[in-house]
Structure 1
Amino acid sequence: MFVGPLYHMGWYHLFYQYNPDSAVWGNITWGHAVSRDMIHWLYLPIAMVPSKWYDINGVWTGSATLLPDGKILMLYTGDTNDFVQVQNLAYPTNLSDPLLLDWVKYVGNPIIVPPPGTHQKNFRDPTTGWIGLDGKWRVAIGSKKGKTGLSLVYKTIDFINFELNDHCLHAVPGTGMWECVDFYPVSINGSKGLDTSVNGPYVKHVLKASMDDTRVDSYALGTYFAENDTWVPDNPLEDVGIGLLLDYGRYYASKTFYDQEKERRILWGWVNETDTESDDLRKGWASLQTIPRTVLFDDKTGTSLLLWPIEEVESLRLSSDEFEGVVVKPGSVVPLNITLATQLDIFAEFEIESLASKNIGKNNIIDCGKIGARDRSAFGPFGLLAIADDSLSEQTPIYFRLSDTTLGNTTTFFCVDERRSSKASDVAKPIYGGKVPILSGEKLSMRVLVDHSIIESFAQGGRTVITSRVYPTEAIYGAARLFLFNNATDINIKISLKIWQLNSAFIRPFPFDQSQ
């Protein structure tokens, strides 16, 4: 998956597409799209196809680098005719073309081949370049040695000739192959994103990798030592592959880029299907990208990132409904009277009311529950039932579960339970979840974006995020409903919500009217 820079007309996105009729994974090409707002997209002709010996079995993941002189370079992984993973260079043929329609592969490809000691099929996904203290560019590439996942660093002055560092950027034993490595700075005391080359005393660096063995996107915060191109995590117990996830749901192969116009860092992530291949063929498409998310350092906790939908998504908001202080008693489900429930932007805050007649103590269950939202305990679960039908035969609960009622001094989980999301028998229906920090004085809050079969859920301003891919058969279109629920046994929950109906985004085909 590729993300291009801001250029002329708007945002460019280059992405995987492949022929599902073929058993050869290598039949991958670069799709190509452009947008002014990252919400509405225009689909362009295919940007690049496997055509040379160095990428004949696949034009794979890579990243764009925007040079100071305005030139744009793409480094990407090619799978050769011998099934060796190599790194290649491509660039647009005409920078004056506002659509960057045509791309050319460098005649001297490949520019980087697997170094000695690296398995030839475990060497892929170059990052965006950053500039070091010596003025040379760096790129990181994912790999592994044995079961140790790692990221190699290469230096260059021209993006043609590369020199491998003697040591890797970072390595974590037992984590397996690192794919789609991402490496970038975040400001510890600001509300703006940073260009990829920024470093200094008020900066932390994020190292992220997609774990090929477990199919999750793991990250850690730490310090980048530019003098020798190494990175050290703040907390070794939450290192890459063994600690925090960018998203605790169905989410993989993410990459960020820096938006110099709005001074923000934006994260893209990929959501694959969990239904059958025959269903994909009937749909005519498979897999999608989440709503783009801004990335900031959480200066309140100091230990994690904040991921939040880009502000442009608010341009899709239509009418809204507000519900203030709705009390949901233990064991209750409360319907919310809204017109449609298939495309929503929901913001909800939760207050806890302990029941004096109960002996409030510690909760024995402090995770998402072995049987999900129906696994009742003293302090949860409670939250929303999205994409549900009237009879609740289909529903997707998004919920909190607490260890006690002392917010700021408690273990809190944020979860999504897909087990009853669909009556279809041939789809995956897991329970997703992760811990979410709650500070003293904070209310529990969540924002949930609902779009027919996609639910993106953000807890506490984006400290914990869960993406869900569901396939309702009953709770569709006008039959979809939204409910509040409280399956805790010892607390009432008071909930205040604002709910916006959302307009549809669009993807227009090419050619199109450029005046629109």
Structure 2
Amino acid sequence: MALSCIWLMFFFSLFGHGVLELIEAFHHVYLNVHQTAQYSTSGNQPYRTSYHFQPPNNWMNDPNGPMLRLGIYHLFYQYNPKAAVWGSNLIWGHSTSTDLVNWTPHDPAIYPSQQSDINGCWSGSATILPGGHPVILYTGIDPENRQVQNLAAPKNFSDPFLREWVKFKHNPLLTPNSKNKINATYFRDPSTAWLGSDGNWRVIIGSQKKERGLAILFKSNDFVHWEEAEKPLYSANKDTGMWECPDFYPVLFKSPLGIDTSSNGPDVRYVLKVSFFRTPHDYYMIGTYNPDKDIFIPDNGPFKDSSLRYDYGKFYASKTFFDDKYPLHRRILWGWVNESSSAIDDIKKGWSGVQAIPRSIWLDKSGKQLLQWPIKEIETLRGTQIELPYQVLSGGSVLEVSGLTAAQIDHSIVESFGAEGKACITARVYPTLAINDAEAHLYVFNNGTENIGITRLSAWSMKKAQIN
């Protein structure tokens, strides 16, 4: 396939001479992959969600490479094109949106075509390079089932939907080997890269050594040739197991505004988040980043099972990105919500997994934890509203909130946000009564013995979003 002039010029400036021999297109391989997916033929789908992102069918897990470019949001995700359960043949699904609520599907963006990813295209991240050019680093599984890191970029940068991607011909860029003593099965999920003041790019990759989690740091001055730093960005001091899907980003102190991943300064703190494969939960720490020594220093000691979590329910393999759309300037968090049903149930219904509602995330004024809240755009789906004025609810009583009944409270997922975003809990629910045309009702419970005062309660029915 011919490459656009924009693409060639970009890679010429980025990768140096001889670039015409370094790029290959790959859409001729697995070209009909989206046509081989087995769609559920069942018309009875009481648990498909109404406004949580999910593909039309089959298995989905980690959000990958979310980004904003030219006013269009992109979400990539781990997708099994052949089954409703996890498989080693994962590819990158791709959808776009202008509002983070309604989504348009596109052909898969990345799928096996090279030796470096022939056994699967696993998780990774997008980085916006100078000039607004996005690139993706992702984990591929090679013929020896080693986890290696690969590079891909849009075939045509003038396409606002970035519908076709091409891979660097000389993938992989990073490999586990005897020199760096990295276990080939514990080397995955590159983060979004950040640019240091020395002009070098930095990226971290999840790993473990002797059951201790690692965020291995690599550096590059051209985004192609990478060298491992002398020390990891951060490592566990006890057995935590594998660290998956690491995320490292700056947040402003005493401001809810988001900032670019490469930002630094006196008013900046840093967040290191990792996904514990053993648990599985997403844990994070707040601290400082020493750019001279390239190390992260947490405020409150090392990771442990009692460390802060984004969410105290089902929420894993999360990824953030910087949304610089004026006037928002926010950091947005995506997270995978898996099923609580059995694999047999998932196969029967023909799909598995959803993405949590996109959340704005920022540092609390105390500087000790993060706050999260559903993005403002979700409010565009609000329908009928009811307001419950102040009243006393006696101990042991139940109050039905009248005026609001609906057959849709998003069917099989509940996301709860408490204490102004300090505590979040996501749960999968599979009701047996309030499904299909049956009405769902809203109640307020006081299971205690003392009376409580309800200051105010607001509730809305929700419309259905356009999801793929």
Same fold per TM (> 0.5)?
Answer: yes
> What is the letter of the counterpart of residue 272 of structure 1?
N
Note if contact 1:209-1:240 (Cα within 8 Å) is conserved in structure 2: no
Q: Note the 1:129-144 alignment, pairs <5 A.
A: 129-144=193-208
**Distance of aligned partners of 1:342 and 1:243 in 2 relative to their CA distance in 1, 3 Å threshold:** farther
Alpha-carbon offset, residue 339 of structure 1 = 3.0
Quote the Cα distance in structure 2 between the aligned partners of 1:266 and 1:9: 15
RMSD: 1.7
> What is the letter of the counterpart of residue 287 of structure 1?
G
Q: Note the 1:232-243 alignment, pairs <5 A.
A: 232-236=297-301, 239=303, 242-243=306-307
Alpha-carbon offset, residue 276 of structure 1 = 2.3
| Structure-2 residue corresponding to 1:94 | 156
| Structure-2 residue corresponding to 1:396 | none
Deviations 1:401-452 (A, max 9, x none): xxxxxxxxxxxxxxxxxxxxxxxxxxxxxxxxxxxxxxxxxxxxxxxxx422
Alpha-carbon offset, residue 24 of structure 1 = 7.8
Identity fraction in percent: 44
State which of 254, 257, 262 in structure 1 corresponds to 2:321: 257
State which of 77, 85, 97 in structure 2 corresponds to 1:35: 97
Deviations 1:142-196 (A, max 9, x none): 1111121110111111111001100011111221100000000010121200110
**Distance of aligned partners of 1:220 and 1:469 in 2 relative to their CA distance in 1, 3 Å threshold:** same
Note if contact 1:208-1:240 (Cα within 8 Å) is conserved in structure 2: no
State which of 429, 433, 451 in structure 1 corresponds to 2:410: 451
SS at match of 2:352: coil
| Structure-1 residue corresponding to 2:79 | 17
SS at match of 2:232: coil
**Distance of aligned partners of 1:33 and 1:246 in 2 relative to their CA distance in 1, 3 Å threshold:** same
Note if contact 1:330-1:489 (Cα within 8 Å) is conserved in structure 2: yes
Q: Note the 1:298-317 alignment, pairs <5 A.
A: 298-299=364-365, 301-317=366-382
| Structure-1 residue corresponding to 2:170 | 108
State which of 400, 423, 426 in structure 2 corresponds to 1:464: 423
Q: Does 1:168 align with 2:232?
A: yes
| Structure-2 residue corresponding to 1:271 | 337
Alpha-carbon offset, residue 281 of structure 1 = 2.7
Stretches of structure 2 that go unaligned for 5 or more consecutive residues are: 1-62
> What is the letter of the counterpart of residue 160 of structure 1?
V
> What is the letter of the counterpart of residue 506 of structure 1?
Q
| Structure-2 residue corresponding to 1:500 | 460
| Structure-2 residue corresponding to 1:186 | 251
Alpha-carbon offset, residue 126 of structure 1 = 0.4
Quote the Cα distance in structure 1 between the aligned partners of 2:103 and 2:349: 19
> What is the letter of the counterpart of residue 457 of structure 1?
S
SS at match of 1:236: coil
> What is the letter of the counterpart of residue 138 of structure 1?
R
Q: Does 1:52 align with 2:12?
A: no
SS at match of 2:346: helix
> What is the letter of the counterpart of residue 41 of structure 1?
W
SS at match of 2:96: strand
Note if contact 2:385-2:404 (Cα within 8 Å) is conserved in structure 1: no
SS at match of 2:224: coil
| Structure-1 residue corresponding to 2:11 | none
Alignment: residue pair count? 400
**Distance of aligned partners of 1:241 and 1:86 in 2 relative to their CA distance in 1, 3 Å threshold:** farther
**Distance of aligned partners of 1:335 and 1:176 in 2 relative to their CA distance in 1, 3 Å threshold:** same
Quote the Cα distance in structure 2 between the aligned partners of 1:490 and 1:112: 61
| Structure-1 residue corresponding to 2:404 | 339
- TM-score scaled by structure 1? 0.75
- TM-score scaled by structure 2? 0.82
Note if contact 1:251-1:270 (Cα within 8 Å) is conserved in structure 2: yes
Deviations 1:42-79 (A, max 9, x none): 01111121122211111000000001112111000001
| Structure-2 residue corresponding to 1:203 | 268
| Structure-2 residue corresponding to 1:486 | 446
**Distance of aligned partners of 1:216 and 1:459 in 2 relative to their CA distance in 1, 3 Å threshold:** same
Q: Does 1:223 align with 2:276?
A: no
> What is the letter of the counterpart of residue 188 of structure 1?
F
